[in-house]
């Protein structure tokens, strides 16, 4: 994945994680394993329809995958790869800043 693709993937992850309910859903799935919309809605103070909309956004960001339906039930599970990609993007950004700050520090240190 190129730099633009990495940034786009990171943006999708950050956008999805900007909502506290989506973070709560992702955390619940990471702790307890795959679950259905109804199982998640039973543990949250929002409607089943609202949970379904949040799940769709998490799937679109690549953070969740939906299993093949078992009858009418679809189970959602965490996909860690997009989080790793976002962390790699953040790490690259941090390295760029470290390089810039190091150069600034060297420049300022040369004035002594």
**Residue 45: what pLDDT?**
93
Range 3-110: architecture per CATH: Orthogonal Bundle (1.10)
**Residue 105: what pLDDT?**
78
What counts of helices (H) and strands (E) characterise the chain? 5, 2
| Angle separating helix axes 48-60 and 3-17, nearest 10 degrees | 170
**Residue 76: what pLDDT?**
96
**Residue 4: what pLDDT?**
62
Rounded Cα–Cα distance for residues 112 and 100 (Å): 19
* Whole-structure pTM value: 0.73
**Residue 66: what pLDDT?**
92
pLDDT in tens, the chain (112 residues): 556 667 778 888 889 999 999 999 999 999 999 999 999 999 999 999 999 999 999 999 999 999 877 677 899 999 988 888 778 777 877 777 767 777 777 778 865 5
């Amino acid at each position: 994945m190129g730099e633009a693709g990495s940034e786009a993937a990171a943006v999708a992850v950050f956008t999805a994680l900007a909502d506290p309910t989506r973070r709560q859903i992702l955390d619940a799935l990471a702790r307890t394993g795959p679950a259905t919309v109804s199982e998640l809605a039973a543990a949250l103070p929002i409607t089943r329809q609202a949970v379904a909309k949040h799940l769709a956004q998490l799937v679109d960001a690549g953070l969740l995958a939906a299993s093949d339906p078992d009858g009418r039930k679809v189970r959602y599970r965490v996909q860690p790869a997009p989080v790793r990609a976002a962390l790699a993007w953040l790490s690259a950004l941090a390295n760029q800043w470290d390089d810039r700050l190091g150069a600034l520090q060297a420049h300022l240190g040369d004035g002594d």
